Structure 1
């Protein structure tokens, strides 16, 4: 026979794990200094420009 699972506890545990991952992502995104944010934006702009420069144009 299978294991008996309390669905309320399973749902709450799933939601709690999702909240922890969301909190970790928010800490990583919003817990940076202004210098780090501007550096990341500049790096993203550089990579976007590099990608746009490598596009092939069709006739």
Structure 2
């Protein structure tokens, strides 16, 4: 006669958690970078800075 008894508060909270997880997944896809990507970018920046520092001119007349 009756279906399964459901706690509406638990169902509401579960639905809210699922919605937040979907939003978080979308944000990770749009803004997130993997650790390998961040590390590769940091190494590239270090190489670029080393190259620039190596090409820096030393002025004898520093103010």
Instruction: Return the TM-score normalized by structure 1.
Output: 0.52
Q: How many residues align?
A: 33
Matching residue of 1:55: none
Matching residue of 1:13: 14
Unaligned stretches of 5+ in structure 2?
38-63
Unaligned stretches of 5+ in structure 1?
34-59
Bigger helix fraction: 1
Which digits, 9 at most, give the CA deviation of each residue in 1:16-48, with x for residues without a partner?
Answer: 000000000000001147xxxxxxxxxxxxxxx
What is the RMSD computed on CA atoms of the aligned residues?
1.3
- Which structure has the bigger radius of gyration? 2
Regions of 4+ moved over 4 Å? none
Instruction: Return the TM-score normalized by structure 2.
Output: 0.48
Question: C-alpha distance in 2, partners of 1:31/1:3?
Answer: 41
